[in-house]
Amino acid sequence: MKKTFKPLFLSTVMAVSAAMGANTALAHNSHDNQRIVSAGNGVTEIIYALGAGDQVIAVDQTSTWPAEVNQLPRLGYHKQLSAEGILALEPTMLIGTEDMGPPSTLAQLESAGVEVEALPLKHTAESIENQIKSLASILGKEQQGNALWEGCSLNLITDS
């Protein structure tokens, strides 16, 4: 009886350990554990305004605010990104605007498993709202995105 119990016990422990490992892997891929490279000053500012700045691991040369980004690695101009420099930082996501590139770099990052999010780039209030809400959705910060847009739209109304 003891001989059958021990292998059964060990296989149960191994199955539980494997399940816990799978749960850890799922938790690692949650919104709060992203390793984000931000390409574009407006995108970077919105990420920080949404409260996800602690997930940003590198920025492009145009990102200079908030002040914390000046302590992060810089990866060149957002239109001339290098896949090697980005991949060396082991990001899970690159977020920028549709003018980031070059396209070959973005394709290389995607083929390496990095999620690439390119937001539309227009200079209108509607575009800003779309960027805020899109980034909030990508980052799992919908509530913060709604609050941020409410604050922005109130400023637009009072500044008019």
Mean of pLDDT values over 127-137: 91
Q: How confident is the model over 42-101, as pLDDT tens digits?
A: 999 999 999 999 999 999 999 999 999 999 999 999 999 999 999 999 999 999 999 999
Paired strand residues for 5: none
pLDDT at residue 69, rounded to an integer: 96
Strands in the chain per DSSP E: 36-39, 56-59, 93-97, 115-119
The Cα–Cα gap between 111 and 94 comes to 13
> Which residue do the tokens 């009886």 mark?
1
The pTM assigned to this predicted structure is 0.75
Contact 119, 96 (CB under 8 A): yes
Number of C-beta neighbours around residue 22 at 10 A: 10
Mean of pLDDT values over 12-38: 51
Q: Which residue type is seen at 105?
A: T
